[in-house]
Structure 1
Amino acid sequence: MLGRTLLAATALVAAFAIPAAAPEADAAVRDTVTLSNNDNGHTVHAHSGDRLSVHLTTVPGKGVKWVWDKPTASSPSVLQRLDGRVLGNGDAVAHFRSAHTGRSDITAHRRCVVTSPGHRCPQLVQSWKVTVEVR
């Protein structure tokens, strides 16, 4: 009788000690790719389920600074933007999830703003682009 009780207790402890397999959640991230100003013109490879984090920093000049707009994906079905915003200092931040196999560009644009009286900005907009190939 004591043997059966110990066997049952051991089985019960083992059942609680072995963790159940966690269900695959949408939040399961295979990898995170971080992109910055220096990645302009690059192509990156990602897998479905990867996250891409974009942080573009303001570029200062003499009496001016170059500020960003919010990064966007050319193919939202391939890269789903989870959030995106322009910070008060002119930096831009966005997060994407690679949702489907395919190709999408992430683009943003920077423009000049005057920060000191007597200075002028050129009337041009500069583009930033990264091509993402999702496998």
Structure 2
Amino acid sequence: MKMKTTASLVVPLAAGLALTAAAVAPASAAGAPRTHQRSAVAAEVVLGNEDKNRTVVVRSGDVIQVELKGSRSAGGVWAWDYPTSSDFQVLRHIGRGMDGNGNASGTFRAQDRGTAEINSTQECYPAPDWFCPAVIIPWKVTVVVQ
């Protein structure tokens, strides 16, 4: 009689272990659902003079490169100031450059979600014995980080 009781306990225990093993076993490659991951590589957005007053949408981690072209003439140079971010929490400034031809650049990394502007101004710097008009030209791009 004792043997019969033991046998009746072993069968449910074996069935339970088999079900547990099936539940935790890895699925085969053919039966596993496919997942699509977004590229981990950050995108780079390049902006220039022609992008004035534009709005761009980027992802966190993307890089925004601003390349503003100045102009040189016999009377002077129309030069750009360094591009700047209106909100360093949204767009972090990571590089900048300027040359004697009036060109200026700025590199920004999209950080937190939000909206920020990148701003610069252009003005004339006269050559000796020349005069420039008292004009400042603004440049702005709105960046939305998602």
Q: Does TM, normalized by the shorter one, top 0.5? A: yes
What letter matches 1:69 in structure 2? D
1:95 aligns with 2:93: no
Residue 19 of structure 1 aligns with which residue?
none
Matches within 5 A, 1:116-127: 117-127=128-138
Deviation sequence 1:46-105 (CA, Å, 0-9, x none) = 010100001101134562321011100000100000011222322101110000100000
Matches within 5 A, 1:50-61: 50-61=62-73
Cα distance between partner residues in 2 of 1:29 and 1:113:
41
Contact 2:122–2:137 under 8 Å retained in 1: yes
Q: Which runs of 4+ in 1 moved over 3 A?
A: none
Instruction: Please state how far the C-alpha of 1:118 moved relative to its aligned partner.
Output: 4.3
Unaligned runs of 5+ in 1: 1-27
Q: 1:64 to 1:134 in 2, by over 3 A?
A: same
| Aligned residues: CA RMSD | 1.5
Q: Structure 2 length as normaliser, TM-score?
A: 0.68
Aligned length: 107
1:129 aligns with 2:140: yes
Cα distance between partner residues in 2 of 1:129 and 1:46:
16
2:50 partner SS: helix
Unaligned runs of 5+ in 2: 1-39
Cα distance between partner residues in 1 of 2:79 and 2:124:
6
Q: 1:59 to 1:114 in 2, by over 3 A?
A: same
Identity of aligned residues (%): 37
Q: 1:41 to 1:62 in 2, by over 3 A?
A: farther
Q: Tell me which moved more, 118-127 or 35-44.
A: 118-127
Contact 1:114–1:121 under 8 Å retained in 2: yes
The higher radius of gyration belongs to 2
Cα distance between partner residues in 2 of 1:121 and 1:39:
25
Matches within 5 A, 1:1-135: 29-61=41-73, 63-115=75-127, 117-135=128-146
Instruction: Please state how far the C-alpha of 1:119 moved relative to its aligned partner.
Output: 2.8
Contact 1:51–1:96 under 8 Å retained in 2: yes
Contact 1:30–1:50 under 8 Å retained in 2: yes
